[in-house]
Structure 1
């Protein structure tokens, strides 16, 4: 019987990035805290005339396990998805669901009003609505045609 192993792409990526940075600069580029990050949720970022909207898929994550920060126009979503208690009677043939800590840092396309940011969580999807600052909204300039 083949041994079951869990694929951790971010840890493999960090090891490879560390190797490359050490080869060129003699030091690690990614901080050690990345060792505990096992997965990152998928996100959609969209923009209207008035706001930036970020949606993140976080199935199985409790709302109290989510931390949202906004610093220097970078939205950071962190949290943890806890593993369910394993059933010892089951023989697993495949394990693809991710568990553990996660973090996504998203550079926003426009300056936003920090005081008016709202976050909603429904059916495993986090929606962060970030209203734009008035000066960040697109201004339409009419071109006059001379006759």
Structure 2
């Protein structure tokens, strides 16, 4: 086996372990216990173009007005909670893949000063545009 093949296998194993840790935090809490620490992180996309950063954060089922966004120094922090739908409070779970509970995503931006210029939502995603001031 080549080193590249070993590296891909190792990367896949690390991904599986990280996902397992997320699921563990999500599911193995006492029933009804409010999570003080974040239990999941939403996926993001971050683009830079001519001194402007665009951030897309996947937040299915979360009302955009309930999401807190802070921008301090070179760190963007997005926090909220995705509640379990009341329809799932009874019955048998056959598949449960979309995370719920409190989340926090901290995004390190390139070094510099910033200001938020746009906050919007579209198709279950939070859209942020951030202008670099330096």
Q: Please, what TM-score do these two structures have when normalized by structure 2? A: 0.68
Q: Equivalent residue for 2:22?
A: 10
Deviation of the 1:36 alpha carbon? 3.4
- Contact preservation (8 Å) 2:73, 2:114: no
Q: When the two structures are aligned, how many residues end up with a matched partner?
A: 106
TM-score of the superposed pair, with normalisation by structure 1: 0.63
Larger strand proportion of the pair: 2
Query: Is the contact between residue 112 and residue 130 of structure 1 (CA under 8 Å) also seen in structure 2?
Result: no
Displacement, 1:87? 5.3
Cα deviation, residue 51, structure 1: 0.1
The runs of 5 or more residues in structure 1 that have no matched partner are 1-6, 14-33, 136-147
| Mapped partners of 2:53, 2:111: distance in 1 | 8
| 1:125 to 2:130 alignment | no
Distance 2:59 2:89 in 1: 23
Q: How does 1:62-141 map to 2 (within 5 A)?
A: 62-85=63-86, 86=88, 88=90, 90-114=91-115, 116-133=116-133, 135=134
Task: Check conservation: 1:61, 1:81, Cα contact below 8 A.
Answer: yes
Aligned to 2:42: 41
CA contact (8 A) 1:52 1:110 kept: no
